[in-house]
Amino acid sequence: MTRIGVVTFPGTLDDRDTQRAVRVAGAEAVPLWHRDKDLKQVDAVVLPGGFSYGDYLRAGAISRFSPVMETVIEQARGGMPVLGICNGFQVLTESHLLPGAMLRNESLHFVCREQKLRVENAGTAWTADYSAGQEIHIPLKNIDGRYTADERTLDMLEAEGRVAFRYLDVNPNGSQRDIAGITNEAGNVVGLMPHPEHAVEPLIGTAGTDGLGFFTSILKKLVAA
Amino acid sequence: MTLDTVAHAAKTPDTEQPWAELGLKKDEYERVREILGRRPTGAELAMYSVMWSEHCSYKSSKVHLRQFGEKAPETDALLVGIGENAGVVDVGQGYAVTFKVESHNHPSYVEPYQGAATGIGGIVRDIIAMGARPVAVVDPLRFGAADHPDTKRVLPGVVSGIGGYGNCLGLPNIGGEVVFDACYQGNPLVNAGCIGVMKHEDIHLAKASGAGNKVILYGARTGGDGIGGASILASETFDDAKPSKRPAVQVGDPFQEKLLIECTLEAYAEKLVVGIQDFGAAGLSCATSELASNGSGGMTVTLDDVPLRDSTLSPEEILMSESQERMCAVVEPEKVARFLEICEKWDVIATVVGEVTDGDRLEIFWRGEKIVDVDPRTVAHEGPVYERPLARPSWQDALQADDANKLARPADADELRAQVLRLVSSPNQASKAWITDQYDRFVQGNTVLAQPEDSGMVRIDEETNLGVALATDGNGRFAKLDPYAGAQLALAEAYRNVATSGAKPLAVSDCLNFGSPEDPAVMWQFSEAVRGLADGCLQLGTPVTGGNVSLYNQTGDVAIHPTPVVAVLGVIDDVTRRTPVAFADEGHLIYLLGDTEEELGGSAWSQVVHDHLGGLPPKVDLERERLLAEILISASRDGMVDAAHDLSDGGLIQALTESCLQGGKGARVVVPDGADPFVLLFSESAGRAIVAVPRSEELRFTDMCGARGLPATRIGVIDGEEIDVQGQFSIPLSELKDAHEATIPNLIA
C-alpha cells in the first residue's frame, strides 16, 4: 500500500484530519514525529496545518529546524512529493523549498470560510486529478495567510506556471495576485493556504469533496511510478 | 520579613492579618481561626480566602443549587453528576460525553483578549481532567449596547481572544450566542462551553488516593499572574474608585495548553493516572485541597519544588497564582518515570511536588518549614454557606403590568415591511458571521453543523456516524420579566434547538449570570431561576450535570438582567440524518409547528421598535416542547423534513429570513385564515418551529403531527428570490441579505 507520511510538530492541529484524508483516498497514513529524522520509508509527505511551536517567532520559522525537516528538505530536493497545507505551506517557505513568505491577513483577523479557488496548474504531483481552470470549494482558515514575494519572483512564478491555485470571488487575506498556493519548479512540492483535508467527505462542513483530488492525485502518481 | 510558619502562627495569635483585603468577612476569618484552633499562617489565610470566595465556594448559591440534585429526573444517561470538574453522560456505543459551560465575565471586562482566551483555556482543562479528548467549544457572549464606544473595545478583544486561543488548540467552535443589551455595558458576559468525548472506562476523577502516590505538577511554570483573581475579581462588584485590577487577570499560552492536552491524553492511554485536577481559579490552593479532600488520605506538598517563572514569588503568591496551563496528576510511584517521559516528549515541564499520605492533613512546606497544616475538607468543601435574604423586587409588578401587547403596531403593510427590515438588521437579530468567521469551525474534521445552525453538531464515531449536538441559549429580557419562566424558556429553547437539528436532548449544563447576592432582589431572581430550571429539567427528563454560577455582575447598584444560560446536549445515532436550517429546495412546503399566541412581552420587536421591556414573557409549556422535539426527531430520522429552524427571538419572520438567506431561496407565505399578520410574524410564543417538507412527504408528515396532536399549519412554499407575505409585502433576498449582514461589520469592524 502506498505510504503517505503526516508530520506532527508540537502545536500541529490538522494531523489527524490529514491522516483521515489520506485513508479516505485509499493510501496508508504514516504518522511522523518532528524529533525523528526517520521518514519510515514513506512515498510522500504532508506537512499539515496548525500553529507549530505556537507560531512563535514567525509561523513555520522554528519547525523548519526540526530533525524531521532535515530529511524532508533533503528528500524533497531529490524529488519526493511534499504537500504543505496552511502552516505546512509556511514551513515550506521558511525552508526555502518554496519561494515567498506569508504575512498577517490584511484584515488583521483570523478568517474561517469556505473559499472558492481556481486550479491554475493541474500538472503537479498533487493536482493531476484536477483540470486546469477547474473551480473548487475548499475551507480556508488562517491569520497569517497573505502570500507575499518580490515582483520578480511573482513574475517568475506566473511565467513558469507555478501559481497552482488562485482565490476566486474573494481574496480572504490580501495575498499578492490572489495567490492561494504555489509549486516548485519540479512540481513535487506544493504549498497552499486552504485546507483540502477538510473537504474529503460530503457530510463535513458544506464544502463537499473538492479536496479529495489532492490525495487521489498523489496516490495515482505513486501507484503508477 | 520572617516566614509565617505554623509554629510561628501558634506563638503569635495577635498578629494583625489582611483578611479583609483578601476578601474574607470578619465572621469568616473568625471561623478559620476556630477551625485551626489558632490564627492561620499567611499561606493558610491565602488558601482559605480564595477557596471560600464566592467564585470557588458557591457560598451564596449552594442552598439553591441543591435542587438540581433533589429534583433530578430518573435517568440512566448520567455517569458522573454535579460536583466533579464536569458531568459525564452516556451517549451509547460505549461512548461517554462530558460538557460544561463556565463564565469568565469579570476578567474579560478588565482585559478582553486575555480574559476571554483564558476562559476557553479553563473550560478545556476541566474537560481533559475528566479523561476526555475535547472535541468542540461554544461561546455564549453578551455585550453592552452595540453602538456604545466601549463595546468596540470589549467585543473585538473578546472575539480575538476566543479565536486566538481556541483556534490554536485545534478545537472547532461550533456554536454560542452574541447578544447586545445596555444592561451588560459594564459587565459583559463571556461564557465558554466545551464538549469532550471518551470511552466509559476512561473516566477520570479529581481524587488523590493511595498513600505514597506522587503528586505531579505539570504544564506551565508558576508566575505572578492572576494572583487573587478568584477572590478579588470574581467576588466583588466593580467600583470605579478602586485601583486598576489588570494584574489580577491571567495571561494565556494556547500552545502550552495544546501540549498539555496531548500529553495528558497520552498518559491516560497508558493508564498512568490515579487522579487528576486542573488548575483553575485559586491555582495550587484549589488543586491540592480538592484532590486531597476528595481522596481518602492527606497530602504533603513541597512548594520549593514548584517551577517558577519569577523566583521572587512568596509562598502565599505561589499558592494563589492563577497562572494558566497547569495541571496536577496523582501517579503511582512506579509509573512516575513513564509519566515524566511522556511530558518530556511533549516538551512539558513536570515536577513531583508532593505525596499522598495516610493521614488526613494537607501539609505544605517551604524552605523546610511547615507553612500550611489544615484539614483539606475545611478548605475545599466546608466553606461558609449563606442563606442570603431574598425579596421579590418592588418594581416587579409594575414591570409586568407594562404590557408589551399594548404597544403601537404597524398601521399598514408598508410599515410592517419597514419593521421587518429593522428587526432583521438590528444588532441582536443581524448575522454574526463577522464574529464567528474568526473561529475555526472545521478543525478535527468532524463538524457536521456549526453556527448559525440551531445547534452545533460533531461526529464522534467515523464508522457508525454517532454524533452529539450542543445548543446554548438564554434570554435575559424574559428572565427579567419573570426569572422562573425565563430560566425555563432558556431551557426550552436550547432543548428545541437540539431537536430541530435532529438530535435527542439528553442532559443540561448551565451558566447562571446574576448581580450581587447581597441584594435581596437579585437573590430572589437567582432562586426563582434555579427553581424554574430544576423544575423544567425534571419535567423534560434532562438532568443538570454541572455548571457554573457567576455573581456580582453589576456596576454600582445596577445589576445585569438575570441571565441563566442553558446548554443542552443531545445525541444523534446517525449524523447523516441531521437537519440543517437552510431552505435549499424550491417547491418544498413550509409548515409552522405549534401555536402562535399574541405574546410580545420581552420580544425582539418590542426592543427594536419601541425600546421597551415589560409585560410577561411567553408562556412555557414543556409538555408541548417535548412533543415538538419528538416530532422533529422522528421527521429527521425518517426523512420527512429537509430543513428545520426553531422560532425564538424575532419570531417567525426572523426564522424565515435566516432559513431563506442560508439556502439562497425565497419563500411565498400565506397568512392563515383568521390570523393577524403582525402577530404571526413577530410573536415569540414558545414551542414552535418551521420545517420544510418535500411534497412527497406531506401526507405522512401531517398524519404524524395529527396523530400526535401537534398543530401543524401550512404557511407557504419555498420559491423565488424574495420573501413574499401574501397581501402584505415582499422583500427581495438581496435587500434582506444586505440588511441582515451589514449591521455588525458597520458597528464593530
Q: What is the pLDDT of residues B280-339, one digit of tens each?
A: 777 888 888 888 888 878 999 999 999 999 888 888 889 888 889 999 999 999 999 999
Which residue of A lies nearest to B575 if distances are taken between CA atoms? A203
Q: Which domain holds residue A97?
A: 3-224
- Residue B203's pLDDT is 87
Looking up cell 486561543, which residue turns up?
B165
* CB within 8 Å: A204 and B462: no
Q: Spell out which residues of chain B touch residue A201, defining contact as CB-CB under 8 Å.
A: 445
* B354: phi then psi, degrees, rounded to nearest 5: -170, -170
For A160, phi then psi, to 5°, come to -90, 5
Q: Crossing angle for the helix pair B336-345 and B254-269, nearest 10 degrees?
A: 140
**pLDDT tier at B133, thresholds 50, 70, 90:** very high
For B79-116, what is each residue's pLDDT tens digit? 887 767 778 999 999 999 999 999 999 989 999 999 99
Q: What is the mean pLDDT of chain B?
A: 93
Give the pLDDT confidence score for residue B243 in this predicted structure: 43
A203 neighbourhood in chain B, CB within 8 Å:
448, 459, 575-576
Residue A203: which of B160, B259, B575 has the nearest Cβ? B575
Q: What is the pLDDT of residue B1?
A: 56
Nearest to B437 by CA among A168, A143, A205, A110: A110
Q: Are A143 and A111 in contact (CB under 8 A)?
A: yes
The answer to whether residue B245 scores a pLDDT higher than 60 is no
pLDDT tens for residues B529-575? 999 999 999 999 999 998 899 999 999 899 999 999 999 999 999 99
Q: What pLDDT does B242 receive?
A: 44
Containing A223, the helix (H) or strand (E) segment is: helix A212-224
Residue B458 in 3-state DSSP? strand
Closest B-chain CA to A141: B440
Kindly report, residue by residue over B640-695, the tens digit of the pLDDT: 999 999 999 999 999 999 999 999 999 999 999 999 999 999 999 999 999 999 99
What's the pTM value of the predicted model, to 2 decimals?
0.95
A112 in reach of chain B (CB within 8 A): yes
Give the Å distances, CA to CA, from B540 to A19, B100, B511, B627, B630: 41, 19, 19, 10, 12
Contact status of B165 with chain A (Cβ, < 8 Å): no
For residue B499, pLDDT beyond 80: yes
What was the pLDDT predicted at A206? 66
Q: What is the pLDDT of residue B204?
A: 82
Q: How high is the pLDDT of residue B136?
A: 97
User: Mean pLDDT, chain A, as a whole number?
Assistant: 95
Flag whether residue A58 sits within 8 Å of chain B, measured between CB atoms: no
The pLDDT of A171-193, averaged and rounded, is 98
Beta bridge partners of B282: B280
Q: What is the mean pLDDT of residues A44-72?
A: 94
In chain B, which residues have their Cβ closer than 8 Å to the Cβ of A14? 170, 443, 445
Across the range B170-194, mean pLDDT stands at: 96
Q: CB distance from B445 to chain A under 8 Å?
A: yes
Q: Write the pLDDT tens digit of every residue in A124-153.
A: 999 999 999 999 999 999 999 999 999 999
- A chain contacts of residue B259, beta-carbon cutoff 8 Å: 10-11
HSE at residue B36, side-chain half, CA atoms within 13 A, is 26
Task: Say what the pLDDT of residue A207 is.
Answer: 64
Q: What is the pLDDT of residue B23?
A: 87
Distances (CA, A) of B405 to B397, B485, B652: 16, 18, 17
CA distance A18 to chain B (A): 9
DSSP state of B551: -
Q: Is the pLDDT of residue B182 over 60?
A: yes
Phi–psi pair at B611, nearest 5 degrees: 45, 50
**Does the distance separating the beta carbons of B253 and A54 come in below 8 Å?**
yes
Lowest-pLDDT range of A70-84, A204-218, B262-276: A204-218
Return d(Cα B204, Cα B227) in angstroms, integer: 28
Element (H, E) at A75: helix A67-77
Distance from C-alpha of B600 to C-alpha of B407, rounded to nearest angstrom = 9
Residue A221: all three cell numbers together: 502518481
φ/ψ of B283, rounded to 5, equals 45, -130
What is the domain count for chain A? 1
Establish, for the pair of chains A and B, how many residue pairs have beta carbons separated by less than 8 Å. Answer: 86
Q: Determine whether B381 is an active site residue.
A: no
8 A C-beta contact, residue B491 and residue B533: yes
Q: Do A51 and B448 touch (CB under 8 A)?
A: no
A57 touching chain B per CB within 8 A: no
Other C-beta atoms closer than 10 Å to the C-beta of B271 total: 10
**Can you give the CATH number for the domain in which A56 is found?**
3.40.50.880
Please indicate whether, in this complex, the C-beta atoms of A11 and B255 are within 8 angstroms of each other: yes
For residue A180, the number of C-alpha atoms closer than 13 Å in the C-beta half-sphere is: 26
- Indicate which residue of A34, A94, A137, A195 is catalytic: A195
pLDDT (0 to 100) of residue B224? 82
Q: What is the DSSP letter of B230?
A: I
Could you confirm whether A86 is annotated as catalytic?
Answer: yes
